[in-house]
Structure 1
Amino acid sequence: MESSIHTKFDNSIIIPELAKEPVEPHINLRPQNFDEYPGQERICENLKVYTQAAKLRGKMLDHCLFHGPPGLGKTTLAGIIAKTMDCQMKVTSGPVIERAADLMGILASLESKTILFIDEIHRLPANVEEILYSAMEDMRLDILIGQGPTARTVKFDLPPFCIIGATTRAGAISAPLRDRFGIQEHLDYYTPAALSKILLRSAKIMNTHLEEDAALLLSKRCRGTPRIANQLLKRVLDFALVSNKVTIDCDIINQSLNRLGVDSEGLSLMDREFLKIMEERYQGGPVGLEAIAAALNEEKSTLEDVYEPYLVYRGFILRTARGRMLSDSGKMHLNNI
């Protein structure tokens, strides 16, 4: 079905080639099975074995913990596991569960063979974590009724279920909770080759022609993160649409990312400000993250969770006992901008 696309910049622009199937904002780019999930091959191969073994036994999969930087596909992996196991999946997050009663209500409502996905599981309050111990290990809830000498514990059996936890801070999870996850996997940043496959697949789903060399070029500027790759692809498609370009090539990639402030290494404006503050105000360090946050007028937790991991991964920043230091490669990158 062809339709015309008009923009507020030029009402005469008509691009039927890009308008055959308009891209909807809610289009699902998530892989639906392990074979569509490039970049974490070792983890996928292991999970294939674990899920197949669980199905052969007629049992639920062991509890899983996925940790790593944001945007690497932890939620997607949970969805693939649920689909592979033919289970329904309920989704919640650590900050939402404020009281032990909240978690008890969620667990008590679970049907047999349900996967409970808890995002940001490291943010569960300590008293809520304690409820999970017996639930994960013995498949039961120990509910305390009453107070003082008349208090008694009632055991509530739970149906077979699996908890999949996702976190960007595995170290913030208490050891007793972490030890109850039989499957623990760390997701690494993706290579440009893996991201290129993801971008080509996403472009196909969005009914867009992305040249292979353009996909590889874009993949090198996505911070090793599929979520960022798909976000940038959508923005490039916006620029291509307004520029009346049917094919996404290297030229439109470079033009779009330059306007978005994304440099050749995938660093954003805030990333570069991070490095500039260290070089110009603190002579390359060492400097504490609190001082950098104050200089950038940004929350320390945001710098620590969003910006710093990739800068450390690329070797632009060094973490030392005395604070953060700007590396030689970080200084070289600033000089080349």
Structure 2
Amino acid sequence: MDEHEHDDEASLELSLRPAKLQQYIGQDALKNNLSVFIEAARMREEALDHVILHGPPGLGKTTLANIIAAEMNVNIKTTSGPAVERAGDLAAILSSLEPGDVLFIDEIHRLPRFVEEILYSAMEDFFIDVVIGQGDEARSIRIDLPPFTLVGATTRFGSLSAPLRDRFGVQLRLQYYDLDSLKLIIERTADIFEVAIPENSLDELARRSRGTPRIANRLLRRVRDFSMVKGEEAITLDTTNYALKVLEVDPEGLEPVDHKIMRTIIGTYGGGPVGLETVAVSIGEEVVTLNDVYEPYLIQRGFLERTPRGRKATAKSFEYFKNIDLT
């Protein structure tokens, strides 16, 4: 791919994200509430109250943060919890904000606690205290901040400290998308990519996308590759099924790690209950990855249960995996 083609593809990637709330597909209850909060803030000519967006990865939290800034007609500054290592880093970002700006912190649950504490006064009273100098010459100065909106995103809402969590006046949980919403998202992406996709291929892609727009768009891009190499005018169902098979995405949208999890629980531990840490060690994955990325979908699809004694395979999972060699 030459530089011009790469730039064109990058522009297409950016265009996949809707810019306005009206263009955002799915999450209807969340959108309706958010539109009211935004409109009320605009009517009062105030900054929107602080917003926390939580839910599984890939559901549109970053997109919504950018939409909030666009709807409020303000600038957005973006960072992430792991990137803000020192109190001074956060103080520098906060002191650069203009009135009404949006500060978006992705993975906000990963902020160091001593950095997080700076946010308390910033969110509640719009000031921060900064210590300058060292030793006997150290002194604290107060920096006033303009009213701003903090938008935090997290896959681990329960990991937020209570003082931080309670300072978010707007708390919104994103749910997995239904098939109709996913089909609309895939159709929109296909239009942007200028690729034809018939209804049967659309259905199959949506069904295997784990209720997640990010995955739906990723799978569409890969299936498009197979279709393009075959010289098809439209993405056929045969090509869709073949591509998803070689990509190891099964009819339920389960991927190899999902299969490893369930094989371990069913085959090694008789269906459980078994601790997630034990499963993680058995398959060579990190606990946080299983907890944040894979487990929510397995639970949502009815394959896995959380119990006080650990994770347990359901009757549905035994039925689904009965023809798979678990030894």
Q: TM-score range by the shorter chain?
A: over 0.9
2:184 to 179, 193, 197: 197
Partner of 1:303 in structure 2? 290
Q: CA deviation at 1:52?
A: 1.2
2:140 to 121, 129, 153: 153
Larger helix proportion of the pair: 2
Q: Output the CA distance in 2 between the equivalents of 1:207 and 1:255.
A: 21
2:106 and 2:154 in contact (8 A); partners too:
yes
SS of equivalent residue, structure 2 residue 322: helix
SS of equivalent residue, structure 2 residue 105: strand
**Closer, same or farther in 2 for the Cα pair 1:271/1:36, shift >3 Å?**
same
SS of equivalent residue, structure 1 residue 248: coil
Partner of 2:129 in structure 1? 142
1:278 and 1:287 in contact (8 A); partners too:
yes
Partner of 2:206 in structure 1? 219
1:54 aligns with 2:53: no
Partner of 2:31 in structure 1? 44
Q: Output the CA distance in 2 between the equivalents of 1:336 and 1:203.
A: 35
1:23 and 1:206 in contact (8 A); partners too:
no
Q: CA deviation at 1:152?
A: 4.4
State how many pairs are aligned. 319
1:68 aligns with 2:26: no
1:90 to 52, 77, 97: 77
1:200 and 1:212 in contact (8 A); partners too:
no
Q: Output the CA distance in 2 between the equivalents of 1:332 and 1:34.
A: 41
1:318 aligns with 2:305: yes
Q: Output the CA distance in 2 between the equivalents of 1:213 and 1:50.
A: 39
Q: Output the CA distance in 2 between the equivalents of 1:237 and 1:100.
A: 45
Q: CA deviation at 1:154?
A: 2.1
Q: Output the CA distance in 1 between the equivalents of 2:136 and 2:10.
A: 58
Q: Output the CA distance in 2 between the equivalents of 1:46 and 1:281.
A: 46
Q: Output the CA distance in 1 between the equivalents of 2:55 and 2:296.
A: 10
Q: CA deviation at 1:114?
A: 1.2
One-letter identity of the residue aligned with 2:109: H
Q: List per-residue Cα deviations over 1:191-241 (Å, max 9, x = no partner).
A: 011100000000001111111332122101000000000000000000001
Partner of 2:171 in structure 1? 184
Q: Output the CA distance in 2 between the equivalents of 1:310 and 1:98.
A: 31
Q: Structure 1 stretches (4+) deviating beyond 3 angstroms?
A: 20-23, 144-153
Q: Output the CA distance in 2 between the equivalents of 1:231 and 1:307.
A: 17
Q: CA deviation at 1:21?
A: 12
Q: CA deviation at 1:250?
A: 2.0
Which stretch of structure 1 is more off in the superposition, 143-152 or 192-201? Answer: 143-152
Q: Output the CA distance in 2 between the equivalents of 1:83 and 1:70.
A: 22
Q: CA deviation at 1:155?
A: 1.7
Partner of 1:24 in structure 2? 9
2:261 to 274, 278, 281: 274
SS of equivalent residue, structure 1 residue 219: helix
Q: TM-score, normalised by structure 1?
A: 0.90
Superposed CA RMSD in Å reads 2.0
Partner of 1:35 in structure 2? 22
Q: List per-residue Cα deviations over 1:122-149 (Å, max 9, x = no partner).
A: 0111111110001011111122345678
Q: Output the CA distance in 2 between the equivalents of 1:116 and 1:85.
A: 13
1:162 aligns with 2:143: no
* Structure 2: tracts of 5 or more residues without a match: none
One-letter identity of the residue aligned with 1:208: V
Q: Output the CA distance in 2 between the equivalents of 1:238 and 1:216.
A: 18
One-letter identity of the residue aligned with 1:323: G
1:260 to 229, 244, 247: 247
One-letter identity of the residue aligned with 2:43: L
Q: Output the CA distance in 2 between the equivalents of 1:166 and 1:21.
A: 30
Q: Output the CA distance in 1 between the equivalents of 2:136 and 2:168.
A: 35
Which stretch of structure 1 is more off in the superposition, 249-258 or 65-74? Answer: 249-258
Which stretch of structure 1 is more off in the superposition, 24-33 or 134-143? Answer: 24-33
2:227 and 2:236 in contact (8 A); partners too:
no
Q: Output the CA distance in 2 between the equivalents of 1:310 and 1:49.
A: 30
* Structure 1: tracts of 5 or more residues without a match: 6-19
Q: CA deviation at 1:153?
A: 3.4
Partner of 2:87 in structure 1? 100
One-letter identity of the residue aligned with 1:307: Y
Q: CA deviation at 1:249?
A: 2.8
Partner of 1:16 in structure 2? none
Partner of 1:171 in structure 2? 158
